[in-house]
Amino acid sequence: MTGKTHASCGILVGALAIEYYKTDLFTSVTIVVLAVIASLLPDICHTQSKIGRKIRIVSFFIRLLFGHRTFTHSILFIVIIGLGLYVIQTPQYYFMTIITGLISHVILDMLTPKGVKLFYPIPLTVKLPITFKTGGLVDLSLASALIIGSLYTLFKSNIDDLIKYFISY
C-alpha cells in the first residue's frame, strides 16, 4: 500500500481512539499524530517511503540489517514497541493508538501480492487471500474510504444531526 493509504488508516485509527477514549482536544490531536506516525513506521525499512525519506540514515541501516517487509512488519517488532511503551508507562490511549497503528500497517501490507514476514525471523511470507496492487485503483479507493470513515467518526454527531434535519423535511 502507499504511504497515503497507511496515513489514511492511521487517521481512522486515531479517530476511533478519540471516540473510544473521549479525549480532550490536545490529547485528540496528539492521538491522531501518533496514529499516523505509527501507521507509517513499519516502512522505516524502505528508504523511499514517506518515513524512510525523513530519517534516511536509520532507514538505510534497518534495510541493510533486515531487508524490506521483514522485522519491521512482524509481530516481534510490534511486541518490542509495545514493551518499550509499557516500560515508559505510556498512557493507555497512546499505547493502544500506537500499537493499533502499527498493526494497521501490517494488515494493509498483507493485502499486497508481496505480503509480509509476519513471523520474522521465520522466513514465511504471509498475505491475505485477496491482494491488490500497491498504488492501483483499489489502493486509492481504500485510502478514500478510510478518510471518509475518519471524517464520519470525528464528526458523527454533526453528520447525524444534518441527516435528521434533511430527513425531517
Question: How do residues 26-51 score in pLDDT, each as one tens digit?
Answer: 999 999 999 999 999 999 999 888 89
Q: Is the predicted pLDDT of residue 128 greater than 90, yes or no?
A: yes
Element (H, E) at 27: helix 25-40
Of all residues in the chain, what percent carry a pLDDT higher than 70? Answer: 100
User: What phi, psi does 99 have (nearest 5°)?
Assistant: -65, -45
Tell me what pLDDT residue 119 has.
97
- Indicate the pLDDT class of residue 93, thresholds 50, 70 and 90: very high
Q: What is the pTM of this model?
A: 0.90
Burial track 101-137 (b if 16+ CB lie within 10 A, e otherwise): bbbbbbebbbbbeebbbbebeeeeeeeeeeebebeee
> What does the pLDDT average to over 67-79?
95
Average pLDDT, the chain: 94
pLDDT score of 79 more than 90: yes
Parse the chain into domains and list their residue ranges: 3-168
What pLDDT is recorded for position 169?
72
Q: Residue 75's pLDDT is what?
A: 98
